[in-house]
Amino acid sequence: MSMDDQALIARVQQGDGSAFAEIVRAYKDKIVNYLYQVTSDYQKAVDLSQETFIRVYFKADRYRPIAPLSSWIYAIASNLAKTDHKRRRRMMAVSLEDLPPTVEISTPAGEESDTGLTRNLRAALAALHPRYRIPVVLKDVEGYSQEEIAAIVKSPVGTVKARISRGRAMLRKSLEGASDGVTAFAKREISDGRC
């Protein structure tokens, strides 16, 4: 843990709002990006990141410097994402065909629409259960070590290693299936003389 983080959180614990603003400034983009990778929904990621920082502020007195501040913040964000996933699973899903024709489906502002491998990867990642998605994103996107991930998700290192391995295998299988579908489509197009 950096001394700056430790000093900042100590100031937040004493009620210093400017120290909290510095923490938000330092971690906001990272947390939004992480939550976007986990939820595949930019607006949901923004909402969950706001909730994350609200909890950081109001639970600052519970923070103990046994782990880096970043691990504590990511743990809060991960728990919120898991809770949101459970809540959404209980809600009834709406088909895209059921949406009224006036509803526009678009990508987040400032983001180009996903194509090809990126779209397939996002879909495969979104299909993973959070128990696999969160460790894979923390490891492969955010760059955390397995030990740090274990502290964030509050699981043994062996469990984290297994979940990363299984998650990667599921992603690989899903991506291979997506490329097989594209290949089969292309072969059909060629055999039908459309290409």
Separation between Cα atoms, residue 50 and residue 73, nearest integer Å: 12
Domain boundary among the residues 64, 94, 124 is at: 94
Q: Do 124 and 174 meet the contact criterion of CB atoms below 8 Å apart?
A: yes
- 102 occurs within a structural domain: no
State residue 1's pLDDT score: 43
Domain hosting residue 64, numbered range? 1-94
- 129 occurs within a structural domain: yes
* The pTM of the whole model exceeds 0.75: no
The CATH code of the domain that includes 79 is: 1.10.1740.10
Instruction: Spell out the residues 6+ positions from residue 97 whose beta carbon is closer than 8 angstroms to its own.
Output: none
| CA 81 vs CA 10, 18, 25, 94: distances in Å | 26, 27, 21, 20
Summarised one tens digit per residue, pLDDT across range 153-172 is 889 999 999 999 999 999 88
State residue 123's pLDDT score: 83
Q: Which amino acid is at 83?
A: T
State residue 180's pLDDT score: 58
User: Domain tally for the chain?
Assistant: 2
Separation between Cα atoms, residue 55 and residue 80, nearest integer Å: 10
Summarised one tens digit per residue, pLDDT across range 98-131 is 444 443 434 444 445 556 677 788 888 888 888 8
User: Largest Cα–Cα distance in the chain?
Assistant: 72
- Say yes or no: 10 and 90 in one domain: yes
